[in-house]
Amino acid sequence: MRQQIDCAVLRLAVHHAWLEDVLLGASPALTRVRLHQLEWEAGQNLEVDTTATVTLPVQALAQASVSLRRFDLCLLPVSVDTLAWTRQALALIPRGPFLPLVGIFQNLKSAAMQDLLELGLSDFVRLPLCNEEFRARVLATVSRVPRPSTLREPEVDYAASEWSGSAFEGCNKTPQGVYGKSRVNKMTEPLPKQSTHALLRTKASKAKTNCETERRSLQCATAFNALHHKADPMGSFRDAKNQLVSNFERTYITQALTKHSGNIAMAARASNKHRRAFWALMRKHDIAAEPYRTDDGGE
């Protein structure tokens, strides 16, 4: 458990009448919780309606997502007057990791409570406040949040007996000195007997697979090298990527249709794609198979 919990309190002017007494009464139970009261409405030159209950913009919570990370928890007082503003503020918070929010509800109905929980609140307490319940909910909420892991690279500890002198000093040593006797015994064990024909078939199959893989890699690399200059480097990353992928797909499909004389089934099979997926790519790039068919080819 953490030694101290830093808790931010979002204070709104409309809550000053009762929030100060609530926090003062709960202070004996919050022995390891430090409250940081944030007066977000004070000192801001906001062009809003002066008759509005809350003069803070509804984007305040979403825009403060980075600055609030220095806290472990945020208390969000909610009353009937600020219920609409709180709903809009919670709805604008982006989905993903965010500071846990615990609501302090005054005179809210069950439907409103459920709505606020679905919008992103982690937990809530109701007034009149029970100090022990408040303390338990705060500690439970903080304990459920995963603590950030360190970004330091792990230190590598090499044994001096294995790596004395140069890093390549042990290259000419005997296998027993490098791998140990058990591994040497496994390496020197005779391979299980296999028929000559079976061994030749296995080698031929592996050679064929390697040739096919190299052929596909060479074909993709050739198409990429021929098209990489067409991507606009001054545009956005997404646009350049989409253009490059589109050009590659168009070139690959036309080459496959040319090689197989416009036969879509054979081109899809050679491309290791389903026929429907290959046909969908043809329609996407407005490519017809007829120009690539010969008199004796095609489907």
What CATH number should be reported for the domain holding residue 139? 3.40.50.2300
Do 9 and 139 share a domain, yes or no? yes
Do 11 and 89 share a domain, yes or no? yes
Do 12 and 132 share a domain, yes or no? yes
User: pLDDT band at 102, cuts 50/70/90?
Assistant: very high
Q: Averaged over 259-264, what is the pLDDT?
A: 89
Domain boundary among 123, 143, 163: 143
Q: Is 160 among the domain residues?
A: no
CA atoms within 13 A of residue 284's CA, in its CB half-sphere: 15
Q: Is 48 among the domain residues?
A: no
Do 35 and 125 share a domain, yes or no? yes
Q: Is pLDDT above 50 for 80? A: yes
Do 232 and 139 share a domain, yes or no? no
What percent of the chain has a predicted confidence (pLDDT) above 90? 17
Tally of structural domains, the chain:
2
Do 11 and 139 share a domain, yes or no? yes
Do 124 and 240 share a domain, yes or no? no
Q: Is 262 among the domain residues?
A: yes
Q: Is 166 among the domain residues?
A: no
Position with higher pLDDT, 6 vs 158:
6
Do 238 and 133 share a domain, yes or no? no
Do 37 and 128 share a domain, yes or no? yes
Do 31 and 130 share a domain, yes or no? yes
Q: Which residue range is the domain that position 255 belongs to? A: 211-292
User: pLDDT band at 42, cuts 50/70/90?
Assistant: low
Q: Is 235 among the domain residues?
A: yes
Q: Is 65 among the domain residues?
A: yes
Do 9 and 121 share a domain, yes or no? yes
Domain boundary among 127, 143, 159: 143
Domain boundary among 105, 122, 143: 143
> What's the pTM?
0.48
Q: Is 162 among the domain residues?
A: no
Q: Is 163 among the domain residues?
A: no
Of 2-6, 182-186, 206-210, 278-282, the range with the highest mean pLDDT is 278-282
Residue range 202-236, pLDDT digits in tens? 666 666 666 666 666 666 566 556 555 554 556 78
Do 215 and 139 share a domain, yes or no? no
